[in-house]
Structure 1
Amino acid sequence: MWYTRLRYMLRLCKSGGDPAGRPRFGCGLPRCRMSEGTALSELAERDARHNILALGVDYVTFGTGMAFLGPTTILPALIRLLGGSPVVVGSLGTIQSGSWLLPQLFAGRYVANRPFVKKLVVAPAVISRSLLWLLVPVLWYTAPRAPSIAIAAILLAYAGFGIFDSLGSVGWFELVVKGLPAARRGRLLGVMQSLSSLMAIGAGAVVGVVLARPGPAWSNHLLLVLVAAAFFCIGPGFIASIREPRGAVQGSPHAGWAHYLPRLASIVRSDRRFVWLLAVRMASGLADMATAFYILFAVERLHVPEEMIGLFVSAGVAGGLLSGALLGPLGDRKGSAQVVVVIMVLRCLAPSLALAAPLVAAGVPQLALGALVLVFVASGMANSAYMVGFTNYLMEIAPPGEGATYIALSNTLCGLLTVAPLFAGWLVQVASYELVFGLTLGVAALGLAVALRRPMPVAVPARAAQ
């Protein structure tokens, strides 16, 4: 290594600072130092390319794994197949939101202001993926013998997966900031999202084929969980290979709760724009409580064949593609607040189409199926626009250096919505799917009305709490 470096430096000196050998200037010591800096910048560029690849593989494989796991399509159908009630199906949404949102305030405070965070990403990721691998043999043994135990295993594994993924997600975003060059970060993330969506569309086609296989239905779902776990396990190895630069450290690794909590309270009291966004986002979260029941409504009420679940998975991913292609540029031109308004329009559209599907099913069944496909497209667009709409708006209104605090506070407060899917499941059990969809539509319409009345006060100063 030292010999190669010496030859490179001698070549620089002989060529006047040009490693290609083209004569430029004489070889003085300052010129050699300048060329050494160029070599270091080339090494940094190689590191950047490696980090881009590692982050991209993790992003794409995680999205593909989620498509095979299907928290709003495949898992609800599996739990229903095992005999789970609508309340149990609704608990999936509770687990998904609660396990990912609630731990972030603590994780954010722990990760903040640390020079290196890679270990804080890899360790939780390995644990979360291991829980899914452990779920596979448990389901294989209990699904045909003790379905209630299989359901409990699914819920516990999914909760653990969400908690540990949440703990690693804060550090993951820090790695994105460090690993992707700022000048190309937006474009690279867009490419990653597009590749992930394309892979997930292919996953939807595979899901349809797997669910149509002969044999016990639970075994087909087990195969999908196994494939999902395999994709999830690819990412942590690539994350561990990232060449993480040292981050800037200012003061102690994390602020004490005595300073942290008063600042959080001052944001809620003083920043009207934060309160506006929180209200709209909570309305959006309540409107999303019906998402897990669209697939059950299609299968049980409209008698859609189970193998059509793959089509609905692909429709949701296609909604994500449309969101990136349409709502991203909209946010650049009109602002992220306008994207928030569009999200609420989509939240109104999904339950409206679900309520309309039975009305047209008797006359034109294909039209009813098309309406259901559009339900998943609208839901996919709304959910995929979270970063472009809600997160970007928080970053815009947050004082310098407090973007992470605003995001963590918003996510934690929205953790109060974890009981909404359980409530929706209870309503389905005691009443009907139509009641849940009608309530969802009312909440979404109210959220849209609030979204159209955006306040414009000045954000609270960063030191106001002190």
Structure 2
Amino acid sequence: MPDALPNAPVVDRGPTSPEPPSEILTAESRNILTLSAHYISLRLGWIFKTETVIMPAFMDAISGAGWLRGCLPVVNRICSSLPPLFYAPQLKGTRRKKVILSVATFAMAIPFVVLAATWWRVGQPGIGLAAELPGWLPALFLACYGVVFVATGVQRLAWATVQGKLIRDNRRGRLLAVSGLLGSIISVTAVLLLIPGWLERPDHGFGWIFLMTAAGFVVAGSLVWLVIEPPDADTTTPRRRPGQLLLEAWDLFSSNRSFRRIACVAMLFISIQLAFPHFQTLGREMLGDEQRESGSYLMHWVVAQNIGFGVCTFLFGWLADFFGNRVVIRTQILLLASVPLVALWLGSLADNSGSGFYWITFSLLGLTPLTFRTINNYVLELAPPSEHPRYIATLNLAMTAPFFASPVVGWMVDRYGFEPIFVLVSIVVACGALLTFGMAEPRLDEHLEESSPVDPSPTVE
């Protein structure tokens, strides 16, 4: 079936996507601008904790063990998947979803304040000599990292729900495009102005980096209050035990063929994150001692990743509005499947000549958060509006499965090297792209089979 839409960007809204109420349509343009400002501020904070660069570098500074680096993706996914699933029914019954979006964004800032204060107290000038640092520091870091992603998981769930409630299907791509491009420009500018001076400090400035992350999240949480959101009608959400919520998630996955297809695509795609902590380790091995000491390579890689994210977001955001999300997801995943192979090829060049071009790896990795959000937008189109929290939470839970292998991947990288692991990850991600050929396209009125709602649907008053 064709991917191009004959009447794009006009959307054929099926029975699962009714026309929004007039008060939502009237405020839609303002809400796009406000949500864009929120996302730009979020990007500003996020760039200073980039998962492929800063977090693994900090873990290497306090403990160089590969299996500990491998714990980062596990903590990331478990903490960002299970709490949103358990909270989804409460979010569905909340009259104004923006309140939860704001509170969750504020909560993301707290662990970084703790890390900044701790690093200023115990950080050593001889950064990288883990023996000089307290033995409890890796445990504290992992605990804070987990709290960050509990809040991040709820924030992403609330973001998708607010977006699904207030922004129509065929305008979500431009929200992603504008906020992603402007967010990357502002974030990269901030990095270029601030990071060089911080990296030259004896402790590599991790305290200031974490404090800047917290500041970006606080601003983002404050901006949410400018969103115009009509309250949903009062509903009674029955309390359900975690086990029951897990069974309901399994029922959605097992009984709904179209949802199961996109969930499997997402599980295969997200496997790219198993290699995240190891990309910067491979790149650092290609550098000379002087380059490693300066730490400037971290700034270059962070900038490359965020420029890649901004450019791709602008391009793919508009393409998604015009062609639909299916073909965009397929293209994004195919590009991501090439990243481990590109990294290995650059690492294999003679005399480490590939080090000057290793930024290409991180530029392509900028597609990862973009693909995640594109998949979320796809599910928002396919799912009944009242069930958005349930579908998004179940999707996030499904994406947790590959991450249980992450510590093993870290151990295998230490034992066998990068080549076999990176090739395997590339193959797994490519399989996700192949699965997209069986996905439905809601812009062609190919909607999900409706699953029975688990409690009464809220309606706008």
TM-score by length of 2: 0.79
Q: Deviations over 1:288-344 (max 9, x none)?
A: 211221111111244464312111111111221232233233333443222222122
CA distance in 1: counterparts of 2:436 and 2:167, whole angstroms: 33
Q: Which residue of 1 aligns with 2:53?
A: 73
Q: Which residue of 2 aligns with 1:24?
A: none
CA distance in 2: counterparts of 1:233 and 1:50, whole angstroms: 21
- Cα 1:357–1:211, aligned 2, differ >3 Å: closer, same or farther? farther
CA distance in 1: counterparts of 2:83 and 2:329, whole angstroms: 25
Which amino acid counterpart does residue 192 of structure 2 have in structure 1? A
Check the 8 A contact 1:206/1:310 in 2, yes or no: no
Which amino acid counterpart does residue 327 of structure 2 have in structure 1? Q
Which amino acid counterpart does residue 142 of structure 1 have in structure 2? V
Q: Which has the higher contact order (CA 8 A, sep 6+)?
A: 2
1:462 lines up with 2:451 in the alignment:
yes
CA distance in 2: counterparts of 1:242 and 1:446, whole angstroms: 39
Counting matched residue pairs gives: 417
Q: Which residue of 2 aligns with 1:392?
A: 377
Which amino acid counterpart does residue 331 of structure 1 have in structure 2? A
Q: Which residue of 1 aligns with 2:332?
A: 343
Matches within 5 A, 1:114-263: 114-144=94-124, 146-176=133-163, 187-206=174-193, 208-210=195-197, 212-213=199-200, 215-216=201-202, 218-240=203-225, 242=227, 244-249=229-234, 251-253=235-237, 256=240
Larger radius of gyration: 1
Check the 8 A contact 1:208/1:308 in 2, yes or no: no
Check the 8 A contact 2:161/2:388 in 1, yes or no: no
Q: Which residue of 2 aligns with 1:408?
A: 393
Which amino acid counterpart does residue 252 of structure 1 have in structure 2? T
Q: Deviations over 1:63-94 (max 9, x none)?
A: 11110122220121122122331111222222
Which amino acid counterpart does residue 154 of structure 1 have in structure 2? F
Check the 8 A contact 1:271/1:460 in 2, yes or no: yes
Q: Deviations over 1:191-225 (max 9, x none)?
A: 22222111222234246513552x42x24222212
Unaligned runs of 5+ in 2: 1-21, 125-131, 456-461
CA distance in 2: counterparts of 1:207 and 1:353, whole angstroms: 30
Which amino acid counterpart does residue 70 of structure 2 have in structure 1? G
What SS does structure 2 have at the residue aligned with 1:94? helix
CA distance in 2: counterparts of 1:222 and 1:332, whole angstroms: 40
- Cα 1:269–1:187, aligned 2, differ >3 Å: closer, same or farther? closer
What SS does structure 2 have at the residue aligned with 1:385? helix
Q: Which residue of the other structure, out of 396, 411, 420, is the alignment partner of 1:435?
A: 420
Compute the RMSD of aligned alpha carbons: 3.3
Check the 8 A contact 1:113/1:254 in 2, yes or no: no
Check the 8 A contact 2:161/2:389 in 1, yes or no: no
**Residue identity (%):** 22
CA distance in 1: counterparts of 2:32 and 2:453, whole angstroms: 39
Once the two structures are overlaid, the 10-residue window that deviates more, 432-441 or 233-242, is: 233-242
Q: Deviations over 1:339-373 (max 9, x none)?
A: 222122122210111110122242x72x5432x22
- Cα 1:419–1:262, aligned 2, differ >3 Å: closer, same or farther? closer
CA distance in 1: counterparts of 2:141 and 2:161, whole angstroms: 31
What SS does structure 2 have at the residue aligned with 1:112? helix
Check the 8 A contact 1:283/1:444 in 2, yes or no: yes
TM-score by length of 1: 0.78
Once the two structures are overlaid, the 10-residue window that deviates more, 143-152 or 85-94, is: 143-152
CA distance in 2: counterparts of 1:261 and 1:106, whole angstroms: 8
Unaligned runs of 5+ in 1: 1-40
Q: Which residue of 2 aligns with 1:329?
A: 318
Check the 8 A contact 1:197/1:317 in 2, yes or no: yes
Once the two structures are overlaid, the 10-residue window that deviates more, 218-227 or 283-292, is: 218-227
Q: Deviations over 1:368-388 (max 9, x none)?
A: 432x22211211124312222
CA distance in 1: counterparts of 2:438 and 2:361, whole angstroms: 26
